[in-house]
Amino acid sequence: MKKVLSMFTAILVLVTILPASSFGAAVKMPLRVEVNGERIYFPDAQPFADKNQRVQVPVRFVSEALGADVDWKSATKTVTVVLDSDSIILTLDKKAYTLNGQKKQMDTAALRKESRTFVPLRFVSEGLGATVEWDAAINTVLITTSDMSASGSNSASTGGNSSTDPKEPVDSENPKDPAKPTNPEEPTGPNGGSDEDTVKEDVIHGFKVYYNTGSKLSIDDDGKYDKLKSGSFVLGLRVTFTTKGRDYNKQVEEMEAVLRQQVESKTVDTIMAYVKKKKVRGDILETKVFKDDTYEIWVGSQENEDTSLKIYMK
């Protein structure tokens, strides 16, 4: 007993005399992104710093947070980003890119990671006319869009070290979460295409979907090229809470309409009753799996994230 007491006393003394910085140095805030002072929450794939210490973000972020149109061409492995009069074309694993028709060079490249397309945040954002700063004190990338800059509004900062080049963050990839099934391909989605004012119809493995309806329901597919077999990813739908101009009720209605085309009615009823339990971003939906004779549907959402619904073949 005396030995235990002596050991405890020694540890207590050691903790008391060590400077606070000895403990604080090991604490690192997760990598964050803010647009016009508002934190952006990534529902599945998370931003990270690549080997060149450039922040990479899922290409969906560009369309949903910055309001740009994104087009992915798997044949050429190119991502085209268009916002107003600005146009950027990036090729996976290539440092050369095109900005408004002019050839330019980066010190990094767009890439694929865990079946996601990522693009360099600084080059894309600045190419679209935004201002990018790095605040080391809070491990955060601060983006101010051109329309906010013109009105004199600036992104919030805590006064940490900042520059126009966010080259200091460390990789903060989150571990895989069952509520966040991976998506094999980045779709054009409701924000994609060349004309957001035109409703577009598509058929994905027998499910008819519509883009640019104004709801901001996110639609994920796997490229539609592979033949489906047991366990294959069929289609993903996301009720978005972080997208500007979203219409929650319309997203839920569109999700239900898509499901009812192929999924058994009773299963759809159960799924939608669960989906509707999350009405605000702070609610949590534990991951649940729903099944009918043909499909297996995964539904889940973490706090401050979108509601993800993934359809797989049984």
Q: Could you read off the pLDDT of 151-177 as tens digits, one per residue? A: 544 433 334 444 444 454 443 333 333
In a domain, 158, yes or no: no
Residue ranges making up the domain that contains 295:
200-313
**Which residue carries 């290409």 as its tokens?**
59
Our count of domains for the chain comes to: 2
Q: Given pLDDT bands bounded at 50, 70 and 90, which one contains residue 100?
A: very high
Token output for 107: 């010190």
Token output for 243: 């997208």
In a domain, 187, yes or no: no
pLDDT at 246: 85
Sign of CA pseudo-dihedral 174, 176, 177, 182 = positive
Tell me which of 75 and 146 has the higher pLDDT.
75
Q: How far apart are CA 161 and CA 123, in angstroms?
A: 20
Q: How far apart are CA 40 and CA 58, in angstroms?
A: 12
Question: Under a CB-based contact definition with an 8 Å cutoff, are residues 148 and 66 in contact?
Answer: no
Of 151, 183, 209, which marks where a domain is finished?
151
For the residues 47-76, what does the mean pLDDT come to? 86
Q: How far apart are CA 125 and CA 41, in angstroms?
A: 17
In a domain, 17, yes or no: no
Work out the number of other CB atoms within 10 angstroms of the CB of residue 249: 10
- The DSSP output letter for 41 is P
Which one-letter amino acid corresponds to residue 269? D
In a domain, 175, yes or no: no
3-state secondary structure of 47: coil
| Co-location of 207 and 288 in the same domain | yes
State the CATH number of the domain containing residue 113. Answer: 3.30.457.10
In a domain, 23, yes or no: no
| Co-location of 143 and 217 in the same domain | no
Question: Average pLDDT over the chain, rounded to whole?
Answer: 77
In a domain, 266, yes or no: yes
| Co-location of 136 and 221 in the same domain | no
| Co-location of 217 and 132 in the same domain | no
| Co-location of 36 and 134 in the same domain | yes
| Co-location of 123 and 231 in the same domain | no
Q: Given pLDDT bands bounded at 50, 70 and 90, which one contains residue 146?
A: confident
- 179-220 pLDDT, tens per residue? 333 343 444 444 343 344 588 888 988 999 998 888 889 888
Q: CA separation (Å) from 23 to 30, 68, 168?
A: 17, 42, 21
pTM: 0.47
Of 110, 127, 151, which marks where a domain is finished?
151
| Co-location of 142 and 216 in the same domain | no
pLDDT at 168: 41
Of 151, 185, 209, which marks where a domain is finished?
151
Token output for 220: 């994920």
| Co-location of 57 and 141 in the same domain | yes
Distance, CA of 84 to chain centre: 22
